Amino acid sequence: MEKTFRNYEAPDVKFTVREHYRKMRTYQTLEYVRSMHKKYLRYDRPMNLWEAMDHLNELIDVSDPDLDLPNVQHLIQSAEAIRHDQRPDWMQLVGLIHDLGKVMFLWGSDEDGTSQKEQWGMVGDVFAVGCTLPESCVYPEFNKLNPDMRHPVYSSELGIYEKHCGLDALILAWGHDEYLYQVLKNHKENRIPEAGMVMIRYHSFYPWHSGGSYQHFLTDKDKEYLNWIKDFNRYDLYTKSETLFDLEDVKDHYAPIAEKYLGDGPIYW
């Protein structure tokens, strides 16, 4: 039988996945996201790429109903699938690093959902804050728990945004996508092409890229974004398996690519 992914109603989906989304929907308000930007977008913690990868060996994503392995395994599986299909070297690198923003758990806390134990500010499908929550969110029954949905502006369709302002103008729920995107954007030696940066920034934005919501905010440019995301998403999703890799075994292939697009110095987190 073919394996299905992202079935959140399957009987064996753990209570923890649902609980994760209940908390995420409850606590990720516009104000919370702004405070996370202040906390994390400082770029004063130097750490090289491979060290960051090693830290993801310690982390299992509690929001993922499909995989129970350390996150670094998912990164290598994604990258190896992209490599197998002979896709461009930068895309292989994006596969390898796309979830690296989860290293925020090193500086995280239970209170703001960025720790090993509480991950609601770090992982899971994201949505825009400052405007109404769409029914395309997983477990839409939790939308009403968000205090912003009782705010006259933040609960409206346009919220704090303008019609067709474009995806880049939206403030998304805080998580590893935005963190890694901002860290790399700030990284002076970053040469990852725009498509790769978009893959990093929006891969968890399921209500948009898979749910079809937020049409009133989109521009022509975002149609291109959607093509890039769809292209990347199958490697993020359909490569999940129990096959284990050793980072050391694949480093020889990826290290030169990482150096080509990110330089050889530390990245400031």
Q: What are 110's two structure tokens? A: 């239970």
Task: Identify residue 216 by its one-letter amino acid code.
Answer: H
Nearer to Fe ion, 36 or 154 (CB): 36
Nearer to Fe ion, 71 or 132 (CB): 71
Residue corresponding to tokens 């996150």: 71
138 and 218 Cβ atoms separated by less than 8 Å: no
Quick count: other Cβ atoms within 10 Å of Cβ 231? 14
Number of residues that bind Fe ion (CB under 5 A): 2
d(CA 84, CA 61): 25
d(CA 137, CA 125): 8
User: What's 127's DSSP letter?
Assistant: -
Check binding of 236 to Fe ion (CB under 5 A): yes
Which SS3 state, helix, strand or coil, does residue 47 take?
strand
Q: Smallest distance from the beta carbon of 95 to Fe ion, in angstroms?
A: 9
Please identify, among the stretches 125-133, 207-215, 231-239, 245-253, the one whose residues bind Fe ion according to the rule CB under 5 A.
231-239
Q: Smallest distance from the beta carbon of 254 to Fe ion, in angstroms?
A: 16
Q: Smallest distance from the beta carbon of 101 to Fe ion, in angstroms?
A: 8
Check binding of 61 to Fe ion (CB under 5 A): no
Q: Smallest distance from the beta carbon of 263 to Fe ion, in angstroms?
A: 23
Backbone angles phi, psi at 217, to 5 degrees: -95, -15
Nearer to Fe ion, 27 or 232 (CB): 232
Question: Considering only residues 89-118, where is the footprint of Fe ion by CB under 5 A?
Answer: 99
Check binding of 125 to Fe ion (CB under 5 A): no
Q: What residues make contact with Fe ion under the rule CB under 5 A?
A: 99, 236
